[in-house]
């Protein structure tokens, strides 16, 4: 959906936490209706991260500092079978669909506007981004931290924003299902390569921060957790389909 760039509908400058809390309130109201109708939908992206990490100030600072303009939208993933019911419920709650996208890609994605807020939605049972992420649909409200981390590790053209997000999640490394991450990259060499590259980038990112904060325990924890996860997924048994490709071969999906 990155090809669809809508205007920023935020009417005024608001702090990152305030915008995030507004999005969470909007989603909380929608989620109650969706749950009542048996529709499964989970948030992810910056608001999903904030929801899972909001009790840890160091993590919030990491995701906030790379988003100077605040969160721009709310990302949602919906089970394919729930697509039409999801749309019906949101429109009944005065969410306005972006009709051009509905006509061209409505079976895959939607954009809804609610006042000055933007909700971007994908209809997928498996998150098929640059690499596939198997979603834990037993969760409610948002993806769990493991799936949020996988959505960041699978990014091919990653930026400091992705590195900071990975670092923020690793501050809660004890809540990460390392076995699922190892399993996810054990069948796809391309996913493994992007995952280890992104763990390296997260370490490099916090190392740059450490120059200004040499005694920051959070930074040290990120480095430690990233190295442990790096070692774990490298040592995790690989399947027969895990086959290295040459550097000039494309090993990711455009998204």
Edge to edge, what strands does the sheet with 96-97 contain? Answer: 41-44, 74-78, 117-123, 109-114, 96-97
Residue with more model confidence, 248 or 129: 129
Tens digit of pLDDT for each residue in 168-185?
999 999 999 999 999 999
Report the mean per-residue pLDDT for the chain.
Answer: 93
Whether residue 219 has pLDDT greater than 50: yes
> Helix or strand or coil: residue 132?
strand
pLDDT at 217 (0 to 100): 78
Is 1-124 assigned to CATH 3.30.460?
yes
pLDDT tens-digit series, residues 103-127 = 999 999 999 999 999 999 999 999 9
Beta bridge partners of 252: none
245/242 Cα distance (integer angstroms): 10
Give residue 11's pLDDT.
43
Reported in sequence order, the residue ranges of the chain that DSSP labels E, i.e. its strands, are 41-44, 74-78, 96-97, 109-114, 117-123, 126-128, 132-134
Per-residue pLDDT at 5: 47
Q: Does 212 score more than 80 pLDDT?
A: no
Domain ranges for the chain? 1-124, 144-249
Which H, E and C letters describe 41-85, residue by residue? EEEEHHHHHHHHHCCCHHHHHHHHHCCCCCCCCEEEEECHHHHHH
d(CA 240, CA 87): 41
């Amino acid at each position: 959906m990155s090809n669809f760039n809508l205007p920023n509908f935020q009417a005024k400058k608001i702090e990152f936490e305030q915008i995030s809390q507004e999005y969470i309130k909007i989603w909380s109201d929608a989620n109650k209706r969706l749950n009542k109708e048996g529709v499964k939908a989970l948030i992810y992206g910056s608001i999903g991260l904030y929801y899972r990490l909001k009790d840890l100030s160091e993590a919030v600072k990491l995701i906030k500092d790379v988003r100077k303009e605040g969160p721009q939208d709310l990302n949602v993933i919906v089970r394919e079978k729930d697509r039409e019911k999801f749309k019906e419920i949101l429109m009944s709650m005065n969410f306005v669909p972006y009709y051009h996208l509905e006509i061209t890609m409505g079976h895959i994605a939607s954009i809804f506007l609610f006042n000055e807020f933007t909700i971007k939605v994908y209809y997928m049972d498996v998150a098929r981004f640059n690499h596939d992420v198997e979603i834990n649909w037993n969760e409610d409200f948002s993806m769990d931290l493991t799936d949020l981390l996988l959505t960041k590790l699978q990014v091919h053209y990653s930026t400091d924003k992705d590195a900071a997000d990975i670092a923020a999640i690793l501050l809660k490394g004890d809540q990460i299902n390392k076995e699922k991450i190892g399993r996810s990259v054990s069948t796809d060499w391309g996913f493994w390569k992007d995952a280890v590259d992104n763990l390296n980038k997260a370490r490099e990112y916090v190392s740059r921060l450490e120059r200004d904060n040499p005694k920051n325990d959070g930074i040290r924890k990120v480095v430690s957790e990233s190295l442990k996860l790096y070692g774990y997924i490298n040592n995790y048994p690989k399947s027969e389909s895990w086959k290295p490709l040459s550097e000039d071969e494309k090993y990711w999906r455009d998204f």
